[in-house]
């Protein structure tokens, strides 16, 4: 890194890089354009890093695209849409700084809490490379204690992708249990009734009761295992890879239903939305559906019930009632 670096000023290079990127995304883009871009990039590393930076940064703004409303047309769209954007961002209740484990290492034990509101979905990336993905209405508190990385799932559901570190075991505490990572990807869901579900995707993890004096209620989970634990029971079943992917569909913003009753499907959607679905008729509640829904597709779901099953849909306030 000695020697003179041939460079033009960063601002004009970035402007050019942005122009390329905009052309690529929004305007006609033919092979000739692609070739022209390649030769522009080949001119200097300064061009390439500017382009790389914009491209990968812009790719990450795709979360904005997730806010696309269902088919709205016509002029004057910009304002309602903006409100929608603002509303979706409104409550992201977070305190502290991520990388909390490291910050907490020296100081007195200190907790950092992360929460998502109903319908929220967030990924916490930790300084050690681990990732915690929070589903709707979820709270996780992180702390470092005696060299252990501890994540307490206070409510909700989270997916953990842990960078294993023998010196700093990663432990998830939830509903009176502990999940200990042995190099792992897994999800933990705290059903509000003291019931806990742990799904292991990759690696290995140990599940045990938090007050495990005796070893009898402890199990090592392997990929495909779904463990359900209550205060005094623990059961493990195996699921197929495809079912595993469906169960974790929320990570992509999807709910996958397979022979699911309307009642269960409505309950699943209600987890993600402040507007609640009520199936007011016992027979309707038992109808089953297959299909993939966005976690926020309440309206779409209601319309489907109306058109596919011929049910009656009425909305009052934040409640949508489906009846015969």
Report the residue from 35, 43, 82, 210 that binds other proteins according to the rule CB under 8 A: 82
- Three-state SS for the chain is CCCCCCCCCHHHHHHHHHHHHHHHHHCCCCHHHHHHHHHHHHHCHHHHHHHHHHHHHHHCCHHHHCCCCCCCCCCCCHHHHHHHHHHHHCCCCECCCCCHHHHHHHCCCCCEEEECCCCCCEEEECCCCCEEEECCCCEEEEEEECCEEEEEEEEEEEEEECCCCCCCCEEEEECCEEEEEEEEEEEEEEECCCEEEEEEEEEEEEEEECCCCCCCCEEEECCCEEEEECCCCEEEEECCHHHHHHHCHHHHCEEEEEEEEHHHHHHHHHCCCCCEEEECCHHHHHCEEEEEEECCCHHHHHHHHHHHHCCEEEEECCEEEEEC
Q: Which is nearer to other proteins, 88 or 218 (CB)?
A: 88
Binding mask 273-302 for other proteins (x = CB under 8 A): ------------------xxxxxxx--x--
Least separation in angstroms between residue 182's CB and other proteins is 23
Report the residue from 57, 93, 194, 274 that binds other proteins according to the rule CB under 8 A: 57
Kindly identify the residues of this chain, within the stretch 237-256, that bind other proteins according to CB under 8 A.
Answer: 251-254
Least separation in angstroms between residue 68's CB and other proteins is 6
Q: Does 99 bind other proteins (CB under 8 A)?
A: yes
Q: Which is nearer to other proteins, 155 or 168 (CB)?
A: 168
Q: Which is nearer to other proteins, 242 or 292 (CB)?
A: 292
Q: Does 5 bind other proteins (CB under 8 A)?
A: yes
Q: Does 89 bind other proteins (CB under 8 A)?
A: yes
Q: Does 59 bind other proteins (CB under 8 A)?
A: yes
Report the residue from 36, 77, 83, 308 that binds other proteins according to the rule CB under 8 A: 77
Kindly identify the residues of this chain, within the stretch 125-184, that bind other proteins according to CB under 8 A.
Answer: 125-127
Q: Does 66 bind other proteins (CB under 8 A)?
A: yes
Size of the site for other proteins (CB under 8 A): 76
């Amino acid at each position: 890194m000695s020697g003179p670096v041939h460079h033009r000023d960063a601002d004009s290079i970035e402007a050019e890089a942005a122009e390329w990127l905009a052309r690529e995304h929004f305007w006609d883009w033919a092979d000739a354009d692609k070739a022209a871009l390649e030769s522009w990039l080949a001119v200097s590393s300064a061009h390439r890093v500017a382009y790389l930076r914009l491209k990968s940064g812009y790719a990450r703004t795709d979360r904005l695209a997730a806010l696309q409303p269902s088919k709205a047309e016509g002029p004057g769209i910009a304002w309602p849409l903006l409100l929608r954007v603002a509303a979706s961002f409104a409550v992201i209740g977070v305190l502290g700084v991520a990388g909390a484990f490291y910050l907490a290492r020296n100081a007195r034990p200190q907790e950092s809490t992360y929460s998502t509101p109903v319908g929220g979905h967030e990924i916490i990336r930790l300084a050690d490379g681990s990732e915690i993905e929070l589903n709707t209405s979820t709270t996780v508190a992180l702390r470092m204690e005696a060299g252990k990385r501890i994540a307490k799932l206070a409510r909700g559901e989270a997916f953990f992708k842990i960078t294993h570190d023998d010196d700093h075991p990663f432990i998830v505490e939830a509903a009176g249990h502990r999940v200990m990572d042995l190099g792992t990807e897994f999800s933990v869901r705290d059903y509000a009734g003291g019931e806990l579900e742990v799904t292991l995707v990759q690696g290995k993890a140990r599940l045990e009761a938090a007050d495990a004096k005796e070893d009898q209620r402890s199990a090592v989970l392997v990929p495909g295992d779904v463990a359900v634990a209550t205060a005094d029971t623990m059961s493990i079943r195996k699921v197929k890879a495809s079912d595993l992917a469906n169960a974790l569909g929320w990570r992509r913003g999807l709910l996958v239903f397979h022979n699911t009753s309307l009642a269960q499907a409505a309950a699943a959607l209600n987890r993600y939305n402040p507007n609640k679905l009520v199936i007011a008729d016992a027979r309707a509640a038992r109808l089953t559906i297959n299909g993939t829904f966005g976690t926020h597709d309440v309206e779409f779901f209601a319309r489907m019930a109306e058109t596919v099953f011929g049910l009656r849909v009425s909305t009052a306030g934040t409640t949508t009632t489906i009846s015969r």
